[in-house]
Structure 1
Amino acid sequence: MSLITKTPEPPYYAVIFTSVRTDNDDGYGAMAEKMVALASQQPGFLGVESAREDVGITVSYWRDLESIKQWKDNIEHREAQKLGHEKWYASFKTRIAKVERDYGI
């Protein structure tokens, strides 16, 4: 996986998930890998970037809002969300943004 996702020409959407973890790591890494693999199979998925230190930030990129909604409602993703709420996250915030411009090298 590339560290920086190659995205199409804007507009597209970014889901920014920021989190602070609990000390409980029971199954977290395996579930995170499973969710990236599952998301990559969803219609409209464009890619993902993630970094973790004291605060974890994962940004996933999507073609449109309907694709994001379908991912949010995915049964396996909903189970991962439930586990996150119950044991892996002390706090989190999800933000959805429309990308209107991007540039880089």
Structure 2
Amino acid sequence: MKKNNLYYAVIFTSTQTKDVEGYTEMAIQMEHLAKKQKGFLGMESARNDIGITVSYWESLEAIKNWKQQTDHLVAQQKGRTNWYHWYKVRICKVEREYEFFN
């Protein structure tokens, strides 16, 4: 992540349907593709009852470009029709960060 500079986080929370065939493969493909996008800074993800993926971006323009990327549009459509019962996207400006490491 960028230290001491503002950047953005896209928080994607979701619940899945029972039919998740092909989901894992698509998620891996999207992660690899996102890493190649201009302005991409990193990603963190966890899934239990709900899934949470947070991706980090240099700018709102980079987020907009990712949302409109052709292969990502296909994945979004498959998510809505096949894999997700519900999802929510939040876009946030990260003004400060700190961490603990033991």
Q: TM-score, normalised by structure 1?
A: 0.93
Following superposition, the deviation at residue 19 of structure 1 comes to 0.1
Residue identity opposite 1:86 in structure 2: T
Pairing of 1:48-87 with structure 2 (within 5 A): 48-87=43-82
TM-align CA RMSD:
0.5
Q: Secondary structure at the match of 1:68?
A: helix
**Please, which of 8, 13, 16 is the counterpart of residue 13 of structure 1?**
8
The alignment status of 1:101 with 2:102, answered yes or no, reads no
Following superposition, the deviation at residue 26 of structure 1 comes to 1.1
Long gaps (5+) in structure 2 = none
Counterpart-to-counterpart distance in 1, 2:21 and 2:71: 17
Long gaps (5+) in structure 1 = 1-6
Residue identity opposite 1:33 in structure 2: I
Runs of 4+ residues over 2 Å off in structure 1: none
Following superposition, the deviation at residue 18 of structure 1 comes to 0.2
Counterpart-to-counterpart distance in 2, 1:51 and 1:26: 18
